């Protein structure tokens, strides 16, 4: 049954698009506003991690599938390069002032879904990483983009293929001293899946993992981990000093098999975690939303305001889809209760 109720969705990443699709399937129209100039959010830049054609269930393709459905749905309106200027609850609904370029409009909605996502940890925040000083030290996000765009791992310094690479886990996660005490739940997954894919494409590439423990989220991950484990060299020590070595290698000093060794890699990947967006407090302020101790938003799930996806906490792509669908379900209950 079609309805003239409309929901405002902030963010056209996997959460926002999933929300629009789910609402559309239930006959509820929506306006999705996206501040960027393309759809799909961060996951659009992630690479498929299939190994020899075998899906590793990373979820990177989900956004493309969702996008296709969303584009074909007449009840879903999308506005790019559009940001909210102010949002408030008003007269049993939501009043929003939106800005696109120089133009500002105001509109009323039945409900609001905040799906504005997360901000990856910037290793520049912890100077011991020397992230911006070492040319071949990159983040997991940069690796995703690199593999997606080039199919290979190459050294940013000179474009040569990486023969020896390393991943450093728990960067900007499980770190109370940085205000990020939580596990981001995705880094062991994305790093291992990418490692597996890289190894499949280039069997001679050496891969070392610096880790504390491996977090196996998701149903299939543990099995995949045990299958792949021996293909990687594991060192249970998070390096302290990072430095540039001869020919722009990335160097660390760790205990390796009982000996103190200086190891050098062509490329080192910092598996960065997830944090809240910089202007989280703005959303919180407009709608009197509670922020958890780490700054993520607690979804009030009432009065027409809902938060879905990583804006509410770190989560994987499949978990984001599940979380969003559950939140849409609660939103539907809310709409049903209104006169």
Partner 1 sequence: MPEFQMEKCTSGFSAMVAREPGAEGIRSCYACGTCTAGCPVRRVNPAYNPRKLIRMIHLGMKDEILKGKEIWLCSSCYTCQERCPQGVRITDMIIALRNLAVREGHAPSGVSMQADLIKGQGRLYALDEFDEKKRKKAGLPSLPAEVEGAIELLEKKE
Partner 2 sequence: MKYALFLGCTIPARSRNYEMSARAVAHRLGIEFVDIFDFSCCGFPLKSSDMKQAGLLAARNLALAEAQGLPICTLCSACTSMLAEEAHLLARDRALFEEVNRELGKVGLSYSGHVKVKHFARVLMEDVGLDRIREAVTVDLKGLPVATHYGCHYLKPSEIYEGVEDPENPSSLEALVTAVGARSVEYAHKRDCCGGAVLVADEETALKMAKGKLDHVKNAGAKVMNVVCPFCSVMYDDNQKSIENQFEVSYGIPVLFLPQILGLAMGFDRKELGLNMNVVKTKGLTEEITGEK
Interacting residues with partner 1 (CB under 8 A):
128, 170, 174-178, 212, 236-241, 252-255, 258-260
Q: Which stretch binds partner 2 (CB under 8 A): 50-58, 66-74, 126-134, 154-162?
A: 126-134
As measured in angstroms, the least distance from the Cβ of 128 to partner 1 is: 6
Least separation, in Å, of the C-beta of 241 and partner 2? 7
- Residue 79 CA to chain centroid, in angstroms? 22
179 near partner 2 (CB under 8 A): no
Q: Which does 130 bind (CB under 5 to 8 A by kind): partner 1, partner 2, none?
A: partner 2
Give the nearer residue to partner 2 in terms of CB position, either 243 or 334. 243
User: Closest separation between CB of residue 293 and partner 1, Å?
Assistant: 15
Strands of the 29-33 sheet, one edge to the other: 76-79, 29-33, 6-10, 111-114, 305-307
Closest to partner 2 by CB, 91 vs 260, is: 260
Among 128, 150, 152, 329, binds partner 2 (CB under 8 A): 128
Is residue 32 within 8 A of residue 17, CB to CB? The reply is yes
Q: Least distance from C-beta 242 to partner 2, angstroms? A: 10
Contact partner at residue 1 from partner 2, partner 1, none, CB < 5 to 8 Å by partner kind: none
Q: Which residues contact 4 (CB under 8 A, 6 or more apart)?
A: 29
Dist. CA 191–CA 128, nearest whole Å? 21
Alpha-carbon distance of 254 to 57, in angstroms, equals 33
- Nearest residue (CB) to partner 2, 130 versus 148: 130
Contact 35, 12 (CB under 8 A): no
Among candidates 88, 115, 151, which has minimal Cα distance to 30? 115
Footprint of partner 2 on residues 234-273 (CB under 8 A)? Answer: 241, 243
Residue 243 touches which of partner 2, partner 1, none (Cβ within 5-8 Å per kind): partner 2
Q: In Å, how far are 187, 189, 195, 329 from 58, measured between CA atoms?
A: 11, 8, 13, 24
Residue 130 vs 163, nearer CB to partner 2: 130
* From 127, 150, 152, 329, residue interacting with partner 2 (rule: CB under 8 A): 127
CA 43 – CA 60 distance, rounded (Å): 6
**CA 249 → CA 59, 121, 207, 244, 245, distances in Å?**
32, 23, 14, 6, 5
- Rounded CA-CA distance 218/7 in Å is 31
Among partner 2, partner 1, none, what does residue 176 contact (CB within 5–8 Å per kind)? Answer: partner 1
Residues that bind partner 2 (CB under 8 A): 127-128, 130, 241, 243
């Amino acid at each position: 049954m079609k309805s003239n109720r409309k929901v405002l969705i902030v963010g056209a990443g996997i959460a926002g698009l999933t929300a629009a699709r789910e609402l559309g399937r239930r006959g509820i129209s929506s306006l999705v506003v996206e501040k960027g100039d393309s759809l799909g959010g961060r996951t659009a830049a992630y690479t498929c991690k299939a190994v020899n054609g075998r899906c590793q269930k990373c979820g990177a393709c989900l956004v493309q599938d969702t996008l296709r459905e969303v584009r074909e749905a007449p009840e879903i309106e999308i506005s790019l390069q559009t940001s909210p200027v102010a949002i408030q609850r008003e007269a049993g609904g939501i009043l929003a002032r939106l800005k696109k370029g120089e133009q500002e409009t105001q509109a009323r909605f039945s409900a609001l879904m905040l799906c504005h996502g997360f901000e990856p940890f910037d290793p520049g925040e912890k100077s011991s990483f020397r992230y911006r000083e070492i040319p071949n030290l990159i983040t997991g996000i940069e690796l995703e983009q690199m593999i997606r765009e080039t199919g290979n791992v190459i050294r940013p310094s000179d474009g040569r293929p990486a023969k020896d690479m390393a991943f450093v886990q728990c960067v900007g996660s499980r770190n109370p001293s940085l205000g990020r005490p939580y596990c981001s739940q995705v880094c062991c997954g994305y790093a291992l899946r990418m490692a597996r894919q890289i190894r499949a494409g280039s069997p001679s590439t050496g891969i070392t993992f610096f880790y504390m423990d491996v977090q196996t989220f998701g149903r299939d991950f543990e099995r995949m981990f045990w299958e792949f484990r021996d293909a990687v060299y594991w060192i249970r020590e998070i390096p302290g000093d990072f430095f540039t070595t001869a020919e722009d290698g990335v160097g660390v000093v760790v205990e390796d098999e009982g000996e103190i060794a200086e190891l050098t890699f062509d490329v080192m990947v910092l598996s960065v975690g997830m944090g809240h967006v910089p202007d989280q407090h703005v959303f919180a302020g407009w709608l009197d939303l509670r922020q958890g101790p780490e700054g993520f938003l607690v979804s009030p799930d009432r009065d027409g305001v809902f938060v879905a996806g990583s804006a509410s906490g770190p989560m994987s792509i499949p978990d984001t889809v599940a979380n969003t669908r559950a939140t849409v379900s609660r939103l539907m209950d809310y709409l049903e209760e209104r006169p």
